Amino acid sequence: MTTKHYGKCLPRQAAGSLKGRLIVIEGADGAGRSTQVRLLRDSLERVGYPTIEVGLKRSALVGEELESAMQGNVLGPTTMSLFYATDFADQLENTIYPALRAGFVVVADRYIYTLMARDVVRGARREWVQDVYQIALVPDMIFYLDVPPRVSLERSLQKQGELDYWESGMDIQRSGDRFECFMGYQSKIKREFHLMKSRYGFRVINGTGEPMDIHFQIMEHLQPELKAAPQRPTAMRRAAKSSKRAI
């Protein structure tokens, strides 16, 4: 059960009354996060857990504005960093806290770790970034899907048909082949994640495996955390198998 923050919490937002769980799925673009979030939600809901999903650029306050600003490829690193921080803070206050108080499992498709890695790679000081996100709740569990940049590149191309400007770090490199920029930028992001994994307690999972095998690993880790379940934890594996038949 989530009970603490990384620093000072938002005003009037004590964590002591939170009954739900906060589960984070982290990883690079193309790591398979969206698939794992969907499988996890399906399995949890099948055994009686109410769930809600959060992620980047989903704030009612600035989500659409942030998406629109990024379309022009003109955001500077500091402006983008503060935009994302506002997006996160709004979701924390108006989505994550209320859901956890109501006993929901909140599944986050990326959390502050992606935001911090991006900021540092774009030149921000780690201490400054950590201070910005001290308001964040400490998740109950963090899964990091680890994939090589080459796999991330191939999957991104398969899914989107092209490489994203921002995920290629073109705003800070601005020259060179986009494929090379993507590999260089994602390699730097990967290094930041590996620097964070011990500090923040990542559970690292090889993201190159079959989606259902990865899902089973996640469910095995979650069984002790969700042992006070509406149904017995063993039902979670049956739910996961049901999800496998559905895809």
Which CATH number goes with the domain that contains 148? Answer: 3.40.50.300
SS3 155: helix
pLDDT of residue 9: 82
Say how far apart CA 211 and CA 222 lie, in whole Å.
17
Are 151 and 32 within 8 A, CB to CB? Answer: no
**Is residue 1 one of the residues assigned to a domain?**
no
Range of the domain at 164: 15-246
> Mean pLDDT over all residues of the chain?
88
**Is residue 52 one of the residues assigned to a domain?**
yes
Tokens 């799925």 -> residue: 25
Model confidence band, residue 55 (pLDDT cutoffs 50, 70, 90): very high
Are 30 and 18 within 8 A, CB to CB? Answer: no
Name the residue with higher pLDDT: 222 or 3: 222
Alpha-carbon distances of 136 from 56, 62, 66, 203, 204, rounded to whole Å: 14, 18, 20, 19, 21
Report, as an integer, the average pLDDT of 229-235. Answer: 44
**Is residue 174 one of the residues assigned to a domain?**
yes
**Is residue 54 one of the residues assigned to a domain?**
yes
Q: Quote the number of domains for the chain.
A: 1
Instruction: Give the tens place of pLDDT for each residue, 110-168.
Output: 999 999 999 999 999 999 999 999 999 999 999 999 999 999 999 999 988 899 999 99
Say how far apart CA 79 and CA 57 lie, in whole Å.
14
Of 175, 179, 26, 195, nearest to 115 by C-alpha is: 26
**Is residue 4 one of the residues assigned to a domain?**
no
Are 239 and 43 within 8 A, CB to CB? Answer: yes
**Is residue 10 one of the residues assigned to a domain?**
no
Which H or E element spans position 221? Answer: helix 211-225
Strands 51-55 and 105-109 come out as: parallel
Query: What own/partner pairs with CB < 8 Å and gap ≥ 24 does 240-244 have?
Result: 240/39, 240/43, 240/212, 240/215, 240/216, 242/43, 242/46, 243/39, 243/42, 243/43, 243/46, 243/212, 243/215, 244/212, 244/215
**Is residue 9 one of the residues assigned to a domain?**
no
Of 223, 225, 1, 228, nearest to 238 by C-alpha is: 223
Say how far apart CA 99 and CA 56 lie, in whole Å.
17
The pair phi, psi for residue 109, each rounded to 5°, is -85, 90
